[in-house]
Amino acid sequence: MATMRAVLTAPHRFDLREVAVPEVGPDDALIRVQRTGICGTDIHMFNGHYAADRLPLVPGHEFAGTVAATGERVKHIKPGTTCVADINIGCGQCYWCRRNEILNCPSMTQVGIGREGAFAEYVCVPARLVIPAPDDVPVEVLALTEPVSCVVRAARKAQASFGQSVVILGAGPIGNLHVQMMRLCGAAPIIIADLSQDRCRLALAAGADAAVADPAQLKQEVLKRTGGRGADLVIESVGSPRLYAFAFELIRKGGHVAFFGLSGPNDTVPVDILRTILEENSLKGSVAGMGEDMHDALTLLSHGRFRTEAFTRATFPLDDIQRAFETLAERPRDLKTQIILN
């Protein structure tokens, strides 16, 4: 049986190809994809800024669908099951995998980044990564499980808690999800910063207590809202070395900076070592959700804990994926664009 997939053959170029449905190994599950979101990582790949050496490749890792078939050794899921999937595939044997730190596995790969992904009618993944999802949750909401898992993990790593003051640098899709995650953690106040007035308004609607579009006013606003101390936690969600450096100016003594936004491979940030030691400041990196983060994200979405309207209203069919990527900048009020399949 033939099926369609969108192959990124070179930067800025998708080709639609009719191929055979992927073969299902004994421990695999074949997922019939219904909805796949366009992630910032996909945009970096499309623009040639990331993973260009892996092309041609089918991107897409924020997906939801139904189980179409399973391998002979798979017992815990059955065809017809609504599902999402963890995208992180480790060897399962190394030191890191045994510690459930799969992202550090030397042979780790990811669906849609290191192997064929979900801008396709079907995607094959190890069945152990498939997570059954409620049938009564819209598929466009289920497709947000992976990005929500990323902010769940960031909150967990940063030990975010009630009453903490938080600054989030960047009000794009992931920054908006950080706002909502911090609100669920009980953080207050939550201050968002972005150059886009539209994105700032969306962040306020998502639960931010203040939004700052003028960089020159940000530090003053943070000090005003934290009693002159600075923030307990600053989350950088853009990937700008300049913003990472600025984040350290916004934290209080004993504060934390969460490194989240992906920067270039050789980017560095100067750190005031003496100040960091004397004030007992800290920084923590976080890159993607996995395992328990995915399960927690699915639970939160299934119970309506996230506002998803701005993430689900912009859609394109698979055969129009080239235009979907080329016109992303024309939709600043839509935090995400999703591809409809099947």
The mean pLDDT value for 177-182 works out to: 98
At residue 165, what is the residue type? S
pLDDT level of residue 302 (50, 70, 90 thresholds): very high
pLDDT at site 254: 97
State CA 254 to chain mean position distance. Answer: 28
Buried b (16+ CB within 10 A) or exposed e, 142-175: bbbbbbbbbbbbbbbbbebeeebbbbbbbbbbbb
pLDDT at site 84: 98
Using one digit for the tens of pLDDT, what is the confidence trace for 94-141? 999 999 899 999 999 999 999 999 999 999 999 999 999 999 999 999
Residue 211: which of 200, 195, 225, 221 has the closest Cα?
A: 200
Mean pLDDT, rounded, of the chain: 95
Q: Which residue has better confidence, 332 or 217?
A: 217
| pTM beyond cutoff 0.85 | yes
pLDDT level of residue 188 (50, 70, 90 thresholds): very high
Q: Is the pLDDT of residue 249 over 80?
A: yes
Task: Kindly list the structural domains of the chain, giving each domain's residue range(s) and its CATH number in brackets, ordered by start.
Answer: 2-144+308-340 (3.90.180.10), 151-285 (3.40.50.720)
pLDDT at site 52: 82
